[in-house]
Structure 1
Amino acid sequence: MAGTGGVSSSMLPALPSQPRPGRPSCADLVAATDWSATRLGRRDRWDQAVAATVELVLASPMPMAVTFGDDFVLIYNDAYADLIGTLHPAALGRPAAEAFGDLWPSPGFGAVVEEVYRSGQPLLEAETQLTVSRTEEAFLTRAHSAVKDSSGTTAGVLTVAAVTTQVTRRLQNLGELTARLAGALTIDDVARVVLGYLTDSFDVDHCVFAVDDGTAFRSVRRIRGEVIDEADERLPPVWKRLPDDDRFPPVAVARSGRPSFVPDGEPLRDVATDRHERRIRALAALPLRTPSLAGAMTIGYRVAHTWLPAERALLSAAAQLVAQAAERARRFEAQHGTAQLLQRSMLPEHLPELEHFRIAARYAPGVDGNAAGGDFYDAFRLADGRLAIVLGDVAGHDVRAAAVMGQVRAALRALALTAPEPPAVLAGLDRLVGSLGAESRNEEIFVTVVYGVLDPADGTITLASAGHPPPVLRRAGVAGEPPTAELVKVPPGAPLGLGGRWQTGQVRLEPGDTIMLFSDGMVERRGRPLNDGLDALVAAAAAATSGDPRNLCSMATAAVPGPPTDDDVAVLAVERAVTRSRSDTMRVAADPTGPSRVRHWLTARLRSWDVPEPVIASAVLCTSELTTNALLHAGTPAQVEIDLNAERLLVSVADTGTRGSVIRTHDGMGSLSSRGRGLGLIEELSDSWGTDPSVRGSTVWFEMLLRGSTKSSAD
């Protein structure tokens, strides 16, 4: 649309030029475009009002566009170019219907501009979603107003867009926070969810979650770019005590109940514990207050930051949700922590150590992560030198199931130490379970057990099953052949308490073979046949990186796809070693020099065993990370154990701190994301790794395959 004023080129204002890396500015493109082929006509003849509007658009930092004439010729600025992505620069100077294609006639887009052009009335749109050719969708609010030429005639439509993508994303993240907090059962769970939300939604450099712990406060934080992520989802959070000092923002706001917002300064100068906190310039601290809990959450930036009213309101709303979730978690822990401790205390704290056999076990609670259950395992030496192995399942997920489990496990030991043959042991357990059911006038006690006796002289295992799933046998590959796995053929027998009769089957472990006993929670999945789970477990065992029992126990917990049932999971694995392994242990005091001393000890020990230098370097790095994490978390001594044979190096780091729920492990079967680089290094350098709970703490371990490159195994 040409103007009628006949403005000469000398009268036109200079168009601003703000070139961006890799592309010319929109002002440069407007200046270089031949407008004579459009409704606007030659640029030196543009109406003065039209030219002034174009100048305003191109100079604005806000996303702005203007369309002229009946075909809505499009001119826009650099900020608007960012919104439309790859449609720029082809869209500039073209009719809008051609530039936007199918987007222009879509509801709420082109029709709005056409209506303002016809009526001359301004219009403010509600928030809309713009999807052009961007990898992410944009959310924005648009204001449209008619552009008049010098004669007062409507020449086009000016559109100003206020991008609300960040606000909308934050509101969406607040909804996701609500959903995730609903599934957070422990304070550890709440900490991970909160710190993840603050990091993702506000793109912070530093955030802290703190709660009262009796007479003091404890906190866990997340820092941008830190090597060790103190709230990694696969390890218990690294809690630290906060001094009883109101100079610490979390302590101050937790006690006062009033939020604090520092836009610029040194809010942590007097209390900073490291360089990360000393660099924080802007800090928001929000109280978490309920009738039974006091705490705080803080977010910080390394640059000045204006805390706008909308952002403050959003943080306050999030703090209220977090406080309620933390209070629920505290009540849950108080109600169920005793049950979990009862469950784990009934399991053996240590498994037997044999010259040519390695044993490992793993127990994971049901869905809620804390309720007591009836799964159990055991392994113990018999009077004649043989090894008894057992895995059982008492139906139920309460303290009563755990109590019955404890009675059955204790009775099994007593029976096996007197007359260890499987049929006799199961017959005695059958009478016990029947008696317990009659005593409680409850005929619904349901107990299954698989029990075996291993002869270390030749690796023969005599097995009997009372209604339990058959074990998995992993055969090591012979003469370069790949490993295989199968279900052990054990004669089926009735569950305990039904007066059944049991027969035995035998299997022999050759060097390198591993047998794995497991509960049905390992293979049961909602809506899928049990055989599907069994097949998946067998396939995963055959494909495992090694037959090491700890690796197989870890692998088994994640071998079957699909959402697990509410049932507990227990697994016990025994491997017949190809050769004897070498092992050593170091106890590390809880002081800053601990990781350094572990590095020196591990390096010296592995070199003395002729382990290749690349393996030593990787193992030392991973062990240092785990030791640091254990000492930071528990504040108690840690124990580092190494076990080396011809096939692999196994390193474990145990602490005695109080841990949260059991964490599923990584075994090479799938990928796991991590914010911290510490666990990322372990994932990269090891062949498998995992976390195992115990009665008194937790153990984190990793395995490195040697692939025939070491002479370290003992003869």
Structure 2
Amino acid sequence: MPGTVGRVPTPPAPVSGAPAASGAAAAVLGHDWAGTPLGPWRSWDPAVRAAAELILASPVPMALALGEGFLLLYNDGYAELLGDKHPEALGRPAAEVFPEIWRTPGVGDAIAHTYRSGEPFLEKESTFPLHRRSGAVEHAVFTRGYSPVRDGAGRTVGVLAVAAETSQVTQQLQSLGDFAAALAGTLTLDDVARVALRYAITSFDADRVAFAVDEGGGGWRTVRRVRGELTDEADERLPPLWRRTPPDWADPLVVAARSGLPHVTDDGQPLRETAVDRHDQKIRALTAVPLRAAVVRGALAVGYQIPHAWSAAERALLAASAELIGQAAERARRFETQHGTAQLLQRSMLPEHLPDVPRLRIAARYDPGVDGNAAGGDFYDAFLLPDGGLGVVLGDVAGHDVQAAARMGQVRAALRALALSDPGPDTVLAGLDRLVTSLGAEAGTHELFVTVVFGVIDADRHRLTLASAGHPAPLIRRGTPEGRVLAEYLDVPGGAPLGLGCRPTTTSVRFDPGDTLLLFSDGVVERRQQGLAAGLETLLDAVAGAGSGDPRALCSVATAAVGGATEDDVAVLAVEHALRPSRSASMEVPAEPTAPSRVRRWMTGQLTQWRVPESIMGAAVLCTSELTTNALLHAGTAARVEIDLSPERLLVSVADSGTRGTVTRAQTDTLSSRGRGLGLIEELTDAWGTDPTVRGSTVWFEILIPPG
């Protein structure tokens, strides 16, 4: 019969190893081959039947294209690739089954060439559409091979097609480049850990990944991520949950980091001795590889809940990933050392505590510019004067180096000394002008550029007296009798900067209860490719639209008002003349597991005594408990909780002394691995933020109290 496959006059004896009647094999055996040019299954040439049975028993995706029409026969692996084209593709010409790609170079022409010439064909990588059973069409990467299939007489009667989908390997190699780019943008070990864990659990489709780095003086810091954790933007804005372990800890992650050798378990209980919870206990396969860094020691581990034999390609990818992480970790360690030194110098020259004055609430904030390694010259201060007034100052010494920070310290100390002798703002700035001129002459430079604004607040007389030396005009937020809020820049003559012949003049304005003064550095409003006037207008609108005049909230609003990165330092100081005195209380929180519950009991009792409405009390206690938990987890040190209640708002702050990094504003959701996380604070409060301090950071929130 024309077109039959090695047809013989009498049926051959049954071939041993016939395919089991299930899946694609059952479909092949049950197919009506008699209705095709190939003829009934039992009449096929034994060699062809043996090839077919071998294909049907193989787990590798394979297909036979038989006869002149290239009629298809395939196994379960190939049926998966066909998706919704199976089982209708059985016994049909390949050109009809794959009309969308048959004429693509390397497909139909390659099969025909192999059939007619008997020469095999191999294409290591090509992209074709893949029809999933869900109906979706994806473009996948395949390695394909075509080989001639011969009958017992040696004639070519078909083509064997072997297809291996290599999309995952290809995607992993592509993601390695993205991973390298992401690591290039990291500054701290916290950043490196976040990027590494996110990449590893996605790229290797793992159930658990972990990262370890040495502490420098002994011991290890480890952090992990498990499949199914609800992670979102909040995970990026909190320091990772590091766990500190002893130098000789037996976990494979630390063993690999300590020895510099990979630790591989294909099937077993690799974390049996060191498991901290059920996620660790379920891991059966784990590979830990050292970072291969010159200075920093560490390791990356990838684990699965089922047995997993690592292929050579996966091992190579994991080793390359660990090498990239090692390089990033070394850069981060250098940055943290330089950054910590510079910022400690900077913050040590700023007041650690602002004065506590009846009817005046004070807050300040300092943020370094883009180059976090450098100390800057921005400074602020607030101090009590002998006559009972409050002196407030904010200035900027040009430069971003240790010399600028040292000069800033000199200027700040001299200003205090001058103000304590004669608090007149014009007199103080005139004396500072002489000091800066002297410092410039001593240094042999005329480029010592210092701007400053100094004011004296007399709360009893409701007056504010100011003088400026080349500094941006202060801003004041006022409430009107009608309940409206206005914000305006004060008309304070700027004059020349200090050291350039400054002749300051004073300006006196009302400072009534309900008003808030805001002093700020030019880093708050100046941005590249944006005029200064636009920045000032944006800041004015933001302050006028703030939910309250609370100084801590206004500092947060001011620093975030103008979008875009700034290369300059940012300093703000805010003082509110309160309508009525507030009530305050504080609690020292020990670093122990029972601390959050103790805080909840203390705060509930305090707010009940103050007769705070239950709805506000419940939200405040819940949010304070979350912040206390975060402080203890991330800092690992004791914390301090402070509450301040005024008729307008409840302000709560939680300060630690060891947090790395800062918390930045972003939308958040519930985090399973961190309780409810900062999503609650975002949802239940009217404002919140974080303030870096000399020895840690303070996270705070504000809840407005409705009138009446």
Q: 2:368 and 2:52 mapped to 1: Cα distance?
A: 66
1:380 aligns with: 383
Shift of 1:472: 3.9
Shift of 1:401: 1.0
1:648 aligns with 2:646: no
Q: Give the partner amino acid of 2:628.
A: T
> Could you list the per-position Cα deviations for residues 25-48 of structure 1 after superposition, in whole angstroms to 9, with x for gaps in the alignment?
999899999999xxx789989995
| Number of residue pairs matched by the alignment | 692
Shift of 1:330: 2.9
**Residues 121, 146 of structure 2: 8 Å contact kept:** yes
Q: 1:502 and 1:592 mapped to 2: Cα distance?
A: 56
Match of 2:177 among 175, 178, 185: 175
Match of 1:221 among 219, 223, 227: 223
Shift of 1:328: 3.2
Shift of 1:589: 1.3
Q: Give the partner amino acid of 2:586.
A: T
2:414 aligns with: 411
Match of 2:125 among 124, 127, 150: 127
Question: Do the aligned partners of residues 624 and 672 (structure 1) sit closer, same or farther apart at CA in structure 2, a change above 3 Å counting?
Answer: closer
Q: 1:491 and 1:29 mapped to 2: Cα distance?
A: 93
2:688 aligns with: 689
1:604 aligns with: 605
SS in 1 for 2:383: strand
2:470 aligns with: 467
Q: 1:543 and 1:116 mapped to 2: Cα distance?
A: 75
Q: Give the partner amino acid of 1:282.
A: A
Q: Give the partner amino acid of 1:127.
A: E
User: 1:160-199 maps to which residues of 2 (within 5 A)?
Assistant: 160-199=162-201
2:519 aligns with: 517
Q: 1:248 and 1:109 mapped to 2: Cα distance?
A: 50
> Could you list the per-position Cα deviations for residues 238-275 of structure 1 after superposition, in whole angstroms to 9, with x for gaps in the alignment?
44331232523343223322111122322232233444
2:698 aligns with: 699
Q: 2:87 and 2:483 mapped to 1: Cα distance?
A: 61
Q: 2:546 and 2:697 mapped to 1: Cα distance?
A: 24
**Residues 232, 675 of structure 1: 8 Å contact kept:** no
Shift of 1:660: 3.2
Question: Do the aligned partners of residues 671 and 623 (structure 1) sit closer, same or farther apart at CA in structure 2, a change above 3 Å counting?
Answer: closer
User: 1:413-492 maps to which residues of 2 (within 5 A)?
Assistant: 413-457=416-460, 459-475=462-478, 479=482, 483=485, 485-492=487-494
Shift of 1:101: 8.0
Unmatched segments (≥5 aa) in structure 1: 19-24
* Residues 58-67 or 307-316, more deviating: 58-67
Q: Give the partner amino acid of 1:686.
A: T
User: 1:240-389 maps to which residues of 2 (within 5 A)?
Assistant: 240-389=243-392
Question: Do the aligned partners of residues 137 and 450 (structure 1) sit closer, same or farther apart at CA in structure 2, a change above 3 Å counting?
Answer: farther
Q: Give the partner amino acid of 1:305.
A: H
Q: Give the partner amino acid of 1:457.
A: D
> Could you list the per-position Cα deviations for residues 523-548 of structure 1 after superposition, in whole angstroms to 9, with x for gaps in the alignment?
33333333333333334334444433
**Residues 3, 149 of structure 1: 8 Å contact kept:** no
* Residues 643-652 or 252-261, more deviating: 643-652
Q: Give the partner amino acid of 1:693.
A: P
* Residues 50-59 or 462-471, more deviating: 50-59
Shift of 1:349: 0.6
**Residues 654, 699 of structure 1: 8 Å contact kept:** yes
Question: Do the aligned partners of residues 647 and 94 (structure 1) sit closer, same or farther apart at CA in structure 2, a change above 3 Å counting?
Answer: farther
Q: Give the partner amino acid of 1:123.
A: F
2:664 aligns with: 665
Shift of 1:51: 10
1:574 aligns with 2:572: no
User: 1:501-580 maps to which residues of 2 (within 5 A)?
Assistant: 501-506=503-508, 508-509=510-511, 511-562=513-564, 564-580=565-581
SS in 1 for 2:180: helix
Shift of 1:447: 1.6
Question: Do the aligned partners of residues 580 and 167 (structure 1) sit closer, same or farther apart at CA in structure 2, a change above 3 Å counting?
Answer: farther
Q: 1:30 and 1:689 mapped to 2: Cα distance?
A: 69
* Residues 632-641 or 403-412, more deviating: 632-641
Q: Give the partner amino acid of 1:517.
A: L
SS in 2 for 1:524: coil
1:493 aligns with: 495
Shift of 1:73: 8.6
* Residues 305-314 or 398-407, more deviating: 305-314
Shift of 1:341: 0.8
2:618 aligns with: 617
Q: Percent identity?
A: 59
2:203 aligns with: 201
Q: 2:625 and 2:694 mapped to 1: Cα distance?
A: 24
**Residues 210, 296 of structure 1: 8 Å contact kept:** yes
Question: Do the aligned partners of residues 249 and 490 (structure 1) sit closer, same or farther apart at CA in structure 2, a change above 3 Å counting?
Answer: same
Shift of 1:121: 4.1
SS in 2 for 1:277: helix
SS in 2 for 1:268: coil
Question: Do the aligned partners of residues 31 and 241 (structure 1) sit closer, same or farther apart at CA in structure 2, a change above 3 Å counting?
Answer: same
Q: 2:321 and 2:473 mapped to 1: Cα distance?
A: 49
Shift of 1:488: 4.0
Q: 1:294 and 1:193 mapped to 2: Cα distance?
A: 18
Question: Do the aligned partners of residues 342 and 63 (structure 1) sit closer, same or farther apart at CA in structure 2, a change above 3 Å counting?
Answer: same
1:398 aligns with: 401
Q: 2:42 and 2:546 mapped to 1: Cα distance?
A: 74
**Residues 130, 138 of structure 2: 8 Å contact kept:** no
Question: Do the aligned partners of residues 510 and 67 (structure 1) sit closer, same or farther apart at CA in structure 2, a change above 3 Å counting?
Answer: farther
SS in 1 for 2:258: helix
1:22 aligns with: none
Q: Give the partner amino acid of 1:602.
A: M
> Could you list the per-position Cα deviations for residues 279-310 of structure 1 after superposition, in whole angstroms to 9, with x for gaps in the alignment?
43333222235443333333333443333332
* Residues 52-61 or 519-528, more deviating: 52-61
Question: Do the aligned partners of residues 589 and 27 (structure 1) sit closer, same or farther apart at CA in structure 2, a change above 3 Å counting?
Answer: same
Shift of 1:487: 4.0
Question: Do the aligned partners of residues 51 and 334 (structure 1) sit closer, same or farther apart at CA in structure 2, a change above 3 Å counting?
Answer: same
Q: Give the partner amino acid of 2:314.
A: E
* Residues 46-55 or 277-286, more deviating: 46-55
Question: Do the aligned partners of residues 255 and 71 (structure 1) sit closer, same or farther apart at CA in structure 2, a change above 3 Å counting?
Answer: same
Q: Normalised by the size of structure 2, how large is the TM-score?
A: 0.82
RMSD of aligned Cα (Å): 4.4
**Residues 396, 451 of structure 2: 8 Å contact kept:** yes
* Residues 425-434 or 213-222, more deviating: 213-222
* Residues 124-133 or 181-190, more deviating: 124-133
**Residues 582, 645 of structure 1: 8 Å contact kept:** yes
Shift of 1:405: 1.0
Question: Do the aligned partners of residues 3 and 109 (structure 1) sit closer, same or farther apart at CA in structure 2, a change above 3 Å counting?
Answer: closer
